[in-house]
Amino acid sequence: MQTQLTHLQNLANQYHAYVEDPEALYQALNKLEKPALQEIAAQYGDPERNFQPVNLLRAEAARRLLDGQSIENALVEEIKQRIRDKDTAYFAGHYRPELLQQLQAYPMGKRDLFANWQKPWNIFHVFLYRGEVRATTQLYLDQLARQLLEDLTLPDYTFHTVDFFGPSNFGSDYAWLALYPDTKNSHQDAHQFFLEIGAEMQAGRVSGANVKPPEPRQLQAVKQYEEVLACLQGLRSNIIELNARLRNFFKFAPGEQAVEWPRFLEDGIAALSYPNLPVEDVFAVSSWKELNEIAGLPRDSQSNQTWNLWLFKEARPGDVLFATKGANTCLGIGIVEGPYYYAPGELYPHRRKVKWITDKAYYYKPDTYQDYKTLFRFDTFSPTKVADFVFGEYVKLFPELEQVFQAHNLVYQKLQPEVVVQEPDGYTDADDTLLGENEEQSFWWLNANPAIWSISTIKEGDRQTYTSRNEKGNKRRIFKYFEMVKPGDLIIGYESTPVKQVKGLFEVTRALHPTNQGDVFEFALLEKYDVPVHWNELAHHPGLKGCEVFINNQGSLFRLSEEEYDIIRDIADSKNILYQKKLESQPTDRYDFSLDPERPFIDPKNFEGHVELLRRKKNIILQGPPGVGKTFVARKLAYGLMGKRNEAQIKMVQFHQSYSYEDFVQGLRIGKGGETQLRNGVFFNFCQQAHDHPDRAYFLIIDEINRGNLSKIFGELLMLIEPDKRGKKYAVKLTYIEEEESEFFVPPNLYIIGTMNTADRSLAIVDYALRRRFAFVDVEPEFGPAFREFLKDRGVSESLIGHIASSVAKVNQRIMEDGNLGSGYRIGHSYFCDYDGRIDEDHWYADIVRYELRPLLEEIWFDNAERVNAAMKDLNR
């Protein structure tokens, strides 16, 4: 690490000299090579940037250097004055008209435009500290921080670094790093292991700005890495102990849309569930990195799920939880009482005992506290900075809670809601720092090309970067948006053609910054949608008519208004909340056919054979007489192939004579305003869901499949459902799609199970079309031992069970012997499977015979009353 430290010290000494002696800085600027100056002039003279007077100053200084002039203080002051005077005539011919218009329109405040730019280093650090120099610096700072974490044995600590751009991008002559507990929302909330690398290097202990009361700084001069390590090692136990005394504050989501809140409140617990995370009891896990490994992730993965779970496990008794619904509602406040424990078999197995001290709800109005558009993060469990504000709001609304808070030693600062007023140039007047955390949150739409990277392949919490230039090095469309993106902004994640779906929600974690891959901004996946939202569901929404995304989708990054963001988020939430409720309302335990108390009357070996047939063929039809439980069997086959019960991955539709391609796949509909809209059908949407989760099996059960016109309903997709045509190379352009590149194929993880009554006289019409695409499985009436045992368990007497089995067998034999009927018209066993013991069994049986079986027999023997009477004689008891 000494090599890295020496490199950074040399840079710090060089930059310190420039701060102390502006003439030395100007000499360095005058020696810059032409390519670097051309890049700077183009970068800061680009009208697509977010216009700032200092950027025009930089562009003009670079242009003057390219013209052979030397930079000195007098020239800098001259350029400043021309910008103050908005001398567009002077700048004309050198810059695009759009930039001159921006200069002319720029608001003039009471303060001088360059009040924050008095020191030359603040203006010109971007000329020298850029590109590879900056990328190397950031890399070395990261390496130093990671090595210190390892050498100090701090597995549950993380780090924050600030390079020579300084914390507010004003330029600095020193860099620094801080190590702090990963349970904290930021380094400002903790006592830190601190290292400052400047002309004089020092290391030691620093308290973050939000720590009350702070400890005095304890820093000492150091020169070598070994001295840094020895200094911090000597403070290790003290800093860890100080951080252990700090109370932590977390937001906690009690289930999707808080569906579990009443139960958690009553049981006095907080609990989390990560069904897609392969981890169980984490009590003995010692670090987030170890948890990542157990979950099958890289040790340094930034997975939001493992981070949330790690924080939940590490929270200490006495820490405070804010139970939330969405991002702006607090449902209650609790205090952690006991250690983490695991409850196997529960839907929410990761648990903590919590004393909920209030269940009163508080609803936050956006923008009423500093820059908080939303009060809480969208994830399940994470640190929060708003504890003081929330406590204050609760006491204002519910004064009696002040004593409750005091009784639990909840000391807080009484804050007043405020709206931050931003100066025109983006800087505060008080402390010469950017309005970093106080800037207004922005909302964005990001197009992801699935051929390059897919949202489906990343996990919640994972971080991704996006370059501001394309593969050819050209700026992306609306380049200024890339410069405007800042930490805390929210991004709607959209996969473009051919997927065309909103698939998740991102949060910006780092603004545009240089890397070896060029300038990129960084963002983390907050939430991945189980049910994605297709373009067609948004394109015709009246509230999105003016949205630039839907006016011209050529590009990568688009700005959304808050209202547009809320509309898109609402549509996505409504779809996914329904899915989550369906998932949570159904058991998702392991499915074993042999242990199923409600299994169909099928031999287990035959059942397994049917499952394997479905796995291989992907499309099967269960055929048989009415009343043999074909739909019931279809669901069990889906469970068998999944290996668990999960209704959320099963969709059921019923075909009929009027069912069409437009209902099933895609078609045009008339909107509320009379305009024609393209709407996706049930099969299209279900296929998209399966595409989005290739690791899950999805099952479409089509009841009465032979009653629909399959060629009409499936259209061009009839070929694509074949098992050997489930791939991108067989993709076709759908009937109503205009874009040539937008093609569709059926995913290999989607299975189709049709049911068909063999008594239906329309069978012969569709049978030929089905044969090549489906395997056919006969489901027979079953009145053998399994049926008898089932009725016996339901409380039906042995004598009635015997009569049902023998009498129906006789009638079925009569049906089979009729040349006009055959086996497809037999009576099925499901007519007799609903006995619950609430009425007399003889009355129950008589009703079935009179009101269900007799009408059936009269229909199939509509021209032969004698056969009906003979069958009734067999059935009557």
Summarised one tens digit per residue, pLDDT across range 851-875 is 989 998 888 888 888 898 998 988 8
What is the 8-class DSSP label of residue 827?
Answer: P
User: How confident is the model at residue 583, as a pLDDT?
Assistant: 59
Q: Say yes or no: 502 and 570 in one domain.
A: yes
Does residue 3 belong to any structural domain of this protein? no
Domain count across the chain:
6
Model confidence at 359: pLDDT above 70: yes
Q: Give the span between the Cα atoms of 201 and 605, in whole angstroms.
A: 75
Does residue 215 belong to any structural domain of this protein? yes
In order, the DSSP letters of 543-563 are GGTT-HHHH---SSEEEE-HH
H or E element in which residue 80 lies: helix 73-84
User: How confident is the model at residue 440, as a pLDDT?
Assistant: 66
Pairing of strands 490-495, 463-467: unpaired
Model confidence at 327: pLDDT above 90: no
Q: Say yes or no: 804 and 849 in one domain.
A: yes
pLDDT digit string, tens, across residues 519-572: 899 998 888 888 888 888 888 788 888 899 888 888 899 999 888 998 898 888
H or E element in which residue 201 lies: none
Q: Say yes or no: 772 and 831 in one domain.
A: no
Let me know: does 557 contact 547? Beta carbons within 8 Å.
no
- Identify which has the larger pLDDT, 589 or 18: 18
Does residue 608 belong to any structural domain of this protein? no
Does residue 6 belong to any structural domain of this protein? no
Model confidence at 72: pLDDT above 60: yes
- Strand spans (E) along 576-712: 619-624, 650-654, 666-670, 676-680, 698-703
What is the distance of C-alpha 480 from the center of its chain?
26
Q: Say yes or no: 102 and 61 in one domain.
A: yes
Q: Which domain holds residue 278?
A: 249-407
pLDDT digit string, tens, across residues 499-528: 788 998 998 988 888 877 788 999 988 888
pLDDT digit string, tens, across residues 196-242: 999 999 999 999 988 888 899 999 999 999 999 999 999 999 999 99
Q: Say yes or no: 138 and 190 in one domain.
A: yes
Q: Say yes or no: 649 and 705 in one domain.
A: yes
User: How confident is the model at residue 433, as a pLDDT?
Assistant: 29
What CATH number is attached to the domain comprising 307? 3.10.590
pLDDT digit string, tens, across residues 614-669: 999 999 999 988 889 899 999 999 999 998 888 888 999 999 888 888 889 888 77
Q: Give the span between the Cα atoms of 448 and 553, in whole angstroms.
A: 12
**Encoding tokens for residue 739?**
């874009």
- Which of 737, 754, 778 lies at the terminal end of a domain, its last residue? 778
Q: Say yes or no: 308 and 346 in one domain.
A: yes
Confidence of residue 766 (pLDDT cuts 50, 70, 90): low
Q: Say yes or no: 262 and 224 in one domain.
A: no
- In sequence order, the 6+-apart residues with CB closer than 8 A to the CB of 75 are 61, 64, 69
Does residue 429 belong to any structural domain of this protein? no
Q: Say yes or no: 118 and 154 in one domain.
A: no
Least confident piece of the model among 110-114, 232-236, 341-345:
110-114
- Which of 522, 547, 576 lies at the terminal end of a domain, its last residue? 576
**Encoding tokens for residue 108?**
């003039």
Q: Does pTM top 0.85 for this prediction? A: no
Does residue 748 belong to any structural domain of this protein? yes
Ranges of H-type helices in 21-51 = 22-30, 34-44
**Encoding tokens for residue 737?**
């799609």
**Percentage of the chain with pLDDT > 70?**
92
Q: Give the span between the Cα atoms of 284 and 271, in whole angstroms.
A: 18
Let me know: does 681 contact 744? Beta carbons within 8 Å.
no
pLDDT digit string, tens, across residues 435-492: 333 356 789 999 998 878 888 778 777 788 999 988 777 888 888 899 889 888 899 9
- Which of 548, 576, 604 lies at the terminal end of a domain, its last residue? 576
Does residue 92 belong to any structural domain of this protein? yes
Q: Say yes or no: 541 and 635 in one domain.
A: no
Assign residue 371 a region: left if phi > 0, alpha if psi is -120 to 50, beta otherwise? alpha
What CATH number is attached to the domain comprising 681? 3.40.50.300
Does residue 8 belong to any structural domain of this protein? no
Query: What burial class does residue 58 get, using C-beta atoms within 10 Å of its C-beta: 0-12 exposed, 13-18 middle, 19+ buried?
Result: buried
User: How confident is the model at residue 757, as a pLDDT?
Assistant: 85
Q: Say yes or no: 115 and 63 in one domain.
A: yes
What are the phi and psi torsion angles at 512 (to 5°)?
-55, 130
Q: Give the span between the Cα atoms of 393 and 398, in whole angstroms.
A: 8
Q: Say yes or no: 49 and 94 in one domain.
A: yes
Confidence of residue 426 (pLDDT cuts 50, 70, 90): very low
Let me know: does 518 contact 467? Beta carbons within 8 Å.
yes
